[in-house]
Amino acid sequence: MVTAKAALRSSVRERRALRSADERERLGAALGAHAGALGPGPIAAFVGIRGEPDTLPLLAELHARGVRVLLPLLRDDLDLEWADYDGDPGSLTEGPRGVLHPPGPSLGLGGIAVAALVLAPALAVDTAGHRLGQGGGSYDRALARTSAPVLAVVFDDELIAEVPAESHDRPVTGALTPEAGIRPF
């Protein structure tokens, strides 16, 4: 299982590296166009880094609608605390592993529990709700602290037939992609 996950991670990362900046910008804007379908919040989200879908346009649209957005604060032990996002991308600071943190005070590990919806990063997801993360287990731990629906945010071609899963992997309830929008499972 570990080998299958590693191979899939490598393959997706290679494909992501081939996307041009223009394509990433276009797909980020397309992702932002789905903000209205995500509900009133609060929404736990993330800032896409290292080839992930560009979520800043989505976060801007959510903020413009008055939705409370929480962003993760990656701790040194790879667990996630949460903080309110003020809507200013210039206020984000780089934390461990390049994760962009909001400036607000931490709401702690349990901060995710106030979210009505969670947008989780993923490298790939399948329609059974199996999500392939980066491999650190941060989101698997965080998702155990919420009962909110969880959408994996991926590019459209990263919704695939099968993602290898282990017992500790937390399932998601759907996907959010730039072109197809919300895909419930």
What CATH number is given to the structural domain containing 171? 3.40.50.10420
Number of domains within the chain: 1
Which domain covers residue 141, as residue numbers? Answer: 2-184
Read off the pLDDT of each residue in 115-127 and give the average, rounded to a whole number: 97
Going by the DSSP 8-state scheme, the letter that residue 65 receives in this structure is: T
Read off the pLDDT of each residue in 29-33 and give the average, rounded to a whole number: 97
Sequence-distant (6+) residues with CB within 8 A of 181 are 34, 37
C-alpha 63/C-alpha 66 separation (Å) is 5
pLDDT in tens, 92-116: 999 888 889 998 899 999 999 999 9
Residue 151's beta-bridge partner residues?
119, 174
- pLDDT in the model for residue 168: 85
The residue with tokens 């602290």 is 145
Two tokens, residue 67: 């939705």
Read off the pLDDT of each residue in 45-55 and give the average, rounded to a whole number: 94
* Structural contact between residues 62 and 69, judged by C-beta atoms closer than 8 angstroms: yes
- pLDDT in the model for residue 1: 56
- pLDDT in the model for residue 58: 98
